[in-house]
Amino acid sequence: MGYMTDKFKGIYELRVPLDEEFLCFNKDEKGKYLEDDIYISCGLGKITHYGYNTMTAFIVDESEERVNRTQVFNRIVKEYKDIITDVLEGDGEGCFNFNVNDIEIIAKAMKARTKGKNSSPFAKKYLPSEEYEIPKKDDKLMKSVTARFIKNNKMYLITQAYREFAEEKGIDITQLSHKMRLKHKEVFHKLGYWEELVSFINNKEE
């Protein structure tokens, strides 16, 4: 585990930035999630690991608290001046460093979230999604051909069929799913492949 996960999972809600183009979690060349950018999610911004025993808190304009960022930043810096170092303020955000031993104090001041403290920063619930409703008649048609897999406890074959169908069509279903913020089957439906997909699954052997 990385520093942030090891230190703070179970205490604060940890999050990670998404890939800006595909709206998914960043991975390295081996396909492993990047843990270097994990941060503590706060009402006023975020707290990151700077290095060794040093943490960095960022107060941003677009925080959900809808406060005057400059006023809040100046208040916190003044109130905790004895434990804060390296204060910087620029357009849209302000930041400062502090020792990890003072995390409880700064986390409280930053309104650190705890609701998702037991969740992985890479949990699917943190990925953006769009509302897309597959028509009932189409959904019913799909259920009629997947019922046998479900009955025989072979649901993995449905997922496998999605992947094989996407490869046949030359579609990177994972990237499209992230970019369109839809589930795999919703992507196929929106692209007009529904009847072909149903037929493909119906012809798949168990």
Mean pLDDT (10-residue bins), the chain, 206 residues? 87 85 68 81 93 92 61 90 90 87 96 91 75 88 89 84 91 82 86 93 80
| CA–CA gap between residue 196 and residue 106 (Å, rounded) | 55
- Residue 7: is it exposed, middle or buried by C-beta count within 10 angstroms (0-12/13-18/19+)? middle
Q: What is the pLDDT of residue 62?
A: 57
Q: What is the pLDDT of residue 15?
A: 92
- 156 C-beta neighbours (distance < 10 Å), count: 9
Domain edges within the chain: 3-126, 136-202
The answer to whether residues 182 and 130 touch, using CB atoms and an 8 Å cutoff, is: yes
Query: How many residues in total does the chain contain?
Result: 206
